[in-house]
Amino acid sequence: MIATRSIVDNEWVVAYRFPFFEDVRNRIWRAIGAASRSAYTPADSTSDMNVDLDAVAPRLGAIVCLLLAGAVFAPALLITVPGAGVADYYASGPIGISIVGVLALIDVVVFLAAAQERSDPETLAGVAIVSALAMVLFSLVWALSIDPTLIFSFPPEHAWIENHRWVVVTGSAAVAIAAGSYARARVA
């Protein structure tokens, strides 16, 4: 049972939801709809999409956030050459890139809470959207403000660092897509 509170006509209204019964109801309606379709009527693919997206989006978002956090912190773990400039690389730009990794780890908790329906889904969708957009903004500012001489100062065996910033930007955009799809599935 999930209780949600909202204000209607300046009064608090508490609505109780029972996810198990809602799932049973949705399955019954889908079965009735499938049985009543004729052979000439195309199946409506959008009606079942929210149910599937609602279940998949938070888990996918948690996985993408873990991958993004791993990508953000990979240079600190993999480049062990003294004086390689890893600290300067992380501190580039106005705020650096570490905040994106921390927000990704926080979003793992948000997406897992959404997957297990531990909190209000609309609130979790809002937190996921805002933090994902912040990650996109922070990673873009960081990626565009890195000094090229710093990137090319790493040893040749760490040449992958040249593309690392774009991997982080792409990962934060993937988190934003996962957060948006979860929000759309929950709010729509």
The model's pTM: 0.70
58 and 38, same structural domain? no
Q: Are residues 81 and 98 in the same domain?
A: yes
Domain that holds residue 77: 49-187
- State the chain's mean pLDDT as an integer: 80
Q: Which residue has the tokens 């090319």?
A: 152
178 and 138 in one domain? yes
130 and 88 in a single domain? The answer is yes
Query: For 142-163, what is the mean pLDDT?
Result: 87
Among 11-15, 89-93, 160-164, top mean pLDDT goes to 160-164
Q: Does 156 share its domain with 182?
A: yes
Q: Which residue has the higher pLDDT, 27 or 108?
A: 108
CA angle (96, 135, 105) in 5-degree steps: 90
Residues 173 and 121 in one domain: yes
Q: What is the pLDDT of residues 36-75, one digit of tens each?
A: 454 444 555 454 444 566 778 889 999 999 999 999 999 8
Residues 39 and 62 occupy one common structural domain: no
In this structure, the answer to whether residues 135 and 73 fall within a common structural domain is: yes
Alpha helices in 116-159 (DSSP H): 121-145, 148-151
> Could you give the CA distance from residue 58 to residue 179 in angstroms, rounded to a whole number?
8
What is the reported pLDDT for 26? 67
Residue in 104, 88, 98, 91 with CA at minimum distance from that of residue 171: 104
* Same domain, residue pair 90 and 147: yes
Distance between CA atoms of residues 109 and 62, nearest Å: 8
pLDDT at 50 (0 to 100): 47
